[in-house]
Structure 1
Amino acid sequence: MPRTSPRRTTAALEAATAACAALAVLPLTASAAPAAGPSCSVTYAVNDWGSGFTANVTITDTGTTPVNGWTLGYSYPGNQTLQNGWNGTWTQTGRTVTVTNPSYAPTIDPGAAYTTSANFSYTGTNTAPTAFTLNGTPCGPPPSPSPSPTPTPTPTPTPAPDGPAPAVHVSGNTLVRADGTPITLHGVNRSGAEFMCVQGHGFFDGPADQTSVAAIKAWHVNAVRVPLNEDCWLGHSDVDPAYAGPAYIDAVRGYVDLLHRNGLVAVLDLHWTDGAYTGPSAGCSDANATCQKPMPDAAGALPFWTSVARTFKGDDATLLDLFNEPYPSRATGSETSGWACWRDGGSCPGIGYQVAGMQAMVDAVRSTGADNVLLLGGLEYANDLSQWASYQPADPLHNLAASWHSYNFNACGTASCWDAQIAPLAARVPVVTGELGENDCAHGYLDTLLPWLDRHGVSYLAWAWNTWDCGSGPALISSYDGTPTAFGAGYRAHLAGS
């Protein structure tokens, strides 16, 4: 979506990898914390695949004061061996496991919960730990205020995932599953990873845990698009190291894994990139990845896509959207020169840095051996696909799709334009509407657009599953439990009936 600045927030990250079919939530039996220590409870859940498992440990502050700085401890009775962890610093000595808070989440407020996760290997029996400590104090469920002869009911758990997500590839003008059956993507955009990190606030805007993903799934979607930041992924010096490089990559990879375990296809797009640009429609004057540029920079985008492709190589349930919203024609001065810049990159008129063209980015991904479906957005913030077929890059795998963005304020915003421009292209290659929405907090535009997309077999993902004010950009929800805005209510109702 064309924008000058995102919603800025200091919301704490609550990322967690969810339990799968083998989900087990184990109530603890340790005594409540003494008054001198933190008052807390812990739940322990696993996704076990036989030779290894993901452990998800949720700490809840059940007291009246914040826990400022925390260290969780527990021990395994078997040979469970730590492989890697996230949303905390995980270490293991013998059978004893210790997790300390990450720099971006040192505090757990009263009544709040925080989930930290790790992968382990094991042989034999995967027996769960039964005792935990927080800052050295035994941490278990708070005592009941009075004895009760009636057993406490078991809380209703978050619905279990039903993954794995389907592998996707291109067949003619259709996206298909591994068995060749067609799949049309209906989904949402989960904005935040493109701006939170570079602004020093964290990884995601709002929660990225199983509960939040279950709320997305409840809208009958099968795909989530996740915008990314070039500087954060590559670990550039302008980004706080706590949110850059390996930490950022692990957060993104963990969220994609969570989506997949819930049966959801992931779409990763390069949203904010480097390159100083102050020409027409400039979003910022900063050479760093703090806004949308007319085209990505070769110096950063090509290493970015090489790294992303290596990370998700073999994961065909993840689609790669090479650049969010190109607008090179506004810099170069004409549509013809804009399309040439779009495909070929290099030295483009009006752009003062070397551009990574679509062909170079396709080549960067394919050079790693990754065969993921690649999405390529057209000109004018991905709203103009008029010359997409004429300038389509070469792909030895023939696994390309066109990405189209459609908002009520775009030039191609009528059925006559869709009939003339989008329908002919959709007859040749898959078209994925990577973003759609309207800026009036209503759904009148969607009520016309969505049935048209359905009739033409075009996939679509609405902007955005975020809780900002509809007046500052299309927001589907007012709460991460899935409560819709008026705009979101129209989209949800359409998904329920499609």
Structure 2
Amino acid sequence: MRHPPRLPALLTGAALLTASCAFAVVGTATGAAAVPACTVQYSVVGSWAGGFQGSVTVTNGAAALNGWSLGFAFLDGQRISQGWGAKWSQTDAGVTAANESWNASLGTGASVTAGFIASWSGSHRAPAAFTLNGAVCNEDPGPTEPTPTPTGPTPTPTEPTDPPDPVTGAPELGVTGNRLTDRNGATRRLLGVNRSGGEFMCVQGHGFFDGPVDDAAVRAIADWKANTVRIPLNEECWLGHDNVKPEYRGAAYVDAVKGLVDRVLAHGMTPVVELHWTYGQYTGNSAGCSDVHATCQKPMPNARYTPAFWTSVANTFKHDRRIVFDLFNEPYPDRATTTAAQAWTCWRDGGTCPGIGYEVAGMQDLVDAVRATGSRNVVLVPGIAYSNDLSQWLAHAPTDPAGLLAAAWHVYNFNTCANEACWDSTLAPVSARVPLVAGEIGENTCGHGFIDRVMTWFDDRGLSYLGWTWNTWNCSSGPALITSYDGTPTSFGIGLRDRLRALN
């Protein structure tokens, strides 16, 4: 989010339903189980009132296929409204998922996954039978010789286990499938606020933060029942560059950030440390400033300093997995180039990017910098278009050897992807694969009608969101949640506060 002028100087856990399906293969040895020719895993990865998100993973155990079609029937009147990874069609209860041109080849032992969103009423049981290219997949041939009758007492059926209890306070976070989880395996949602100031006050020569960040001020955030605080940072202040006043740079700045992180943790909340303003001169389309220094939002991180910033931050916090890293606030390489392909390649790989005059550090460079320190903290990776576009996030996502990435997304009422249709088409596929965190939500109306819609969509799917911002600004010039650091809300803030209190 861009900032108003300062001074003239300035899932519920995913339910999993699995059906393993097989048909006989000619030539099985006597006494051995038949080799499955296909297996199908059907999963419900999230549900809400009147709807759910599902996926199917098909593994081909027979001869290689060049073109495939999966068939099954819903049992409870479910209706698919959209899908991805296949060409979906439905007639009455019958559903067909046929290959796209890019995934038509399905070799022996290869798998393909497709997802969908569907409506339901009352229940949504898993389909009982599947076919692959017309061959029945739910007939288990079993062994070719009779199975001996077991002797001894009949086993007592076990009751379903209860979901794990969440860890108390700020948890050490990990990633399990598309969920953030704690050490007990319980699903965790990041729900809270941004605490702006650390990105601009130091470089403008006014201090470390905009307003108080003492224990009472942090307690006021916790009183809203927030469980997460996102803390924007400045690259040059952290690294101690001499364009910043000595009293606000280097070790002094790092200590101030560490102090705020410690207070957030002490109140049982998750700190998200995030890189907001960076070095690099950009004067192209949508430039926030012409300054080479970290005095505004740049379109991408720079290769000269940003990897060093994340190396230092990761070394500072890597021994505490309760802390989350957010790589870069709002990339917008799409404003510097005319093609989406160039923008997404720049986003991931960095280097020399069209329209950007400095060497860029891509998201892969930053993930590599963090992991090279030995850090196993969860890392948030934003999209393009000021983090509002995740349409090609999955196709270009950086590789993480730790498997601890989540997607970060921002939305305001004036963004392009600001309606449920866009969220269904671009966010749902991402959230089916990785955890999704809306790092900034807000509106410039001084009300909360828009964020109410955002929060409802995210709540229905068990996803995370953070309101912008816990600062006493004029809500018409920048979404401000409070009028006082004691937690008195603006009319905009009332919407977030009441939702957090209802959830937590």
Quick check: TM above 0.5? yes
State yes or no: 1:299 paired with 2:304: yes
Does the 8 Å contact 1:163/1:261 carry over to 2? no
For 1:315 and 1:464, how far apart are their aligned partners in 2?
Answer: 25
Partner of 1:481: 486
Partner of 1:230: 235
Residues 295 and 476 of structure 1: CA distance in aligned 2, closer, same or farther (over 3 Å): same
Comparing 488-497 with 167-176, greater Cα deviation is found at 488-497
State yes or no: 1:177 paired with 2:143: no
- Give the partner amino acid of 2:439: G
Partner of 1:31: none
- Give the partner amino acid of 1:484: P
Residues 5 and 490 of structure 1: CA distance in aligned 2, closer, same or farther (over 3 Å): closer
1:132-147 mapped onto 2 (5 Å cutoff): none
* Alpha-carbon distance, 1:391 to partner: 0.2
Q: The residue matched to 2:199 in structure 1 has which SS?
A: coil
Partner of 1:316: 321
Partner of 1:328: 333
State yes or no: 1:250 paired with 2:255: yes
For 2:201 and 2:262, how far apart are their aligned partners in 1?
Answer: 20
For 2:500 and 2:218, how far apart are their aligned partners in 1?
Answer: 16
Partner of 2:452: 447
For 2:447 and 2:244, how far apart are their aligned partners in 1?
Answer: 36
State yes or no: 1:165 paired with 2:170: yes
TM-score normalised by structure 1 residue count: 0.68
Q: Deviations over 1:375-428 (max 9, x none)?
A: 011010000000000000000011000000011000000001111111111011
State yes or no: 1:421 paired with 2:426: yes
For 1:395 and 1:407, how far apart are their aligned partners in 2?
Answer: 29
1:483-498 mapped onto 2 (5 Å cutoff): 483-498=488-503
State yes or no: 1:217 paired with 2:222: yes
Q: Deviations over 1:38-58 (max 9, x none)?
A: xxxxxxxxxxxxxxxxxxxxx
For 2:222 and 2:439, how far apart are their aligned partners in 1?
Answer: 18
Partner of 1:399: 404
Partner of 1:371: 376
Does the 8 Å contact 2:208/2:253 carry over to 1? yes
Q: The residue matched to 1:299 in structure 2 has which SS?
A: coil
For 1:209 and 1:191, how far apart are their aligned partners in 2?
Answer: 14
Q: The residue matched to 1:288 in structure 2 has which SS?
A: coil
Q: The residue matched to 1:198 in structure 2 has which SS?
A: coil
Q: Percent identity?
A: 59
For 1:164 and 1:421, how far apart are their aligned partners in 2?
Answer: 33
Gaps of 5+ in 1: 12-161
For 2:354 and 2:9, how far apart are their aligned partners in 1?
Answer: 39
Partner of 1:7: 6
* Alpha-carbon distance, 1:10 to partner: 10
Q: Deviations over 1:333-388 (max 9, x none)?
A: 21110000000001001111010100000000000001110101101000000000
Q: The residue matched to 2:275 in structure 1 has which SS?
A: strand
Partner of 2:269: 264
Partner of 2:293: 288
Q: Deviations over 1:462-497 (max 9, x none)?
A: 000000110110000000000000000111111122
- Give the partner amino acid of 2:438: T
Does the 8 Å contact 2:177/2:434 carry over to 1? yes
For 2:4 and 2:305, how far apart are their aligned partners in 1?
Answer: 21
Partner of 2:350: 345
Gaps of 5+ in 2: 11-166
TM-score normalised by structure 2 residue count: 0.68
Partner of 1:437: 442
Does the 8 Å contact 2:4/2:477 carry over to 1? no
For 1:332 and 1:473, how far apart are their aligned partners in 2?
Answer: 28
Does the 8 Å contact 2:411/2:442 carry over to 1? yes
- Give the partner amino acid of 2:183: A
Does the 8 Å contact 1:326/1:377 carry over to 2? yes
Q: Deviations over 1:48-101 (max 9, x none)?
A: xxxxxxxxxxxxxxxxxxxxxxxxxxxxxxxxxxxxxxxxxxxxxxxxxxxxxx
Does the 8 Å contact 1:9/1:201 carry over to 2? no
State yes or no: 1:463 paired with 2:468: yes
1:42-191 mapped onto 2 (5 Å cutoff): 165-191=170-196
- Give the partner amino acid of 1:415: E
* Alpha-carbon distance, 1:319 to partner: 0.6
- Give the partner amino acid of 1:186: L
CA RMSD after TM alignment: 1.5
Q: The residue matched to 2:394 in structure 1 has which SS?
A: coil
- Give the partner amino acid of 1:457: G
Partner of 1:239: 244
Q: The residue matched to 2:440 in structure 1 has which SS?
A: strand
* Alpha-carbon distance, 1:163 to partner: 7.5
* Alpha-carbon distance, 1:332 to partner: 2.1
For 1:468 and 1:417, how far apart are their aligned partners in 2?
Answer: 30
For 2:477 and 2:240, how far apart are their aligned partners in 1?
Answer: 29
For 1:337 and 1:323, how far apart are their aligned partners in 2?
Answer: 19
- Give the partner amino acid of 1:7: R
Partner of 2:88: none
- Structure 1 residue runs of 4 or more that deviate by more than 6 Å after TM superposition: none
Return the match for 2:387 from 379, 382, 385.
382
Partner of 2:142: none
Does the 8 Å contact 1:344/1:357 carry over to 2? yes
Q: Deviations over 1:259-300 (max 9, x none)?
A: 111111000110000000000000000000000000011111
Q: The residue matched to 1:379 in structure 2 has which SS?
A: coil
State yes or no: 1:208 paired with 2:213: yes
For 1:479 and 1:244, how far apart are their aligned partners in 2?
Answer: 27
* Alpha-carbon distance, 1:166 to partner: 1.0
* Alpha-carbon distance, 1:188 to partner: 0.1
Q: Deviations over 1:409-462 (max 9, x none)?
A: 000000011111111110110000000000010001012111110011210000
Q: The residue matched to 1:325 in structure 2 has which SS?
A: coil
For 1:289 and 1:306, how far apart are their aligned partners in 2?
Answer: 18
Q: Deviations over 1:148-207 (max 9, x none)?
A: xxxxxxxxxxxxxx9852111111000001111110110100000000000000001000
Does the 8 Å contact 1:9/1:205 carry over to 2? no
For 1:444 and 1:313, how far apart are their aligned partners in 2?
Answer: 39
Partner of 1:52: none
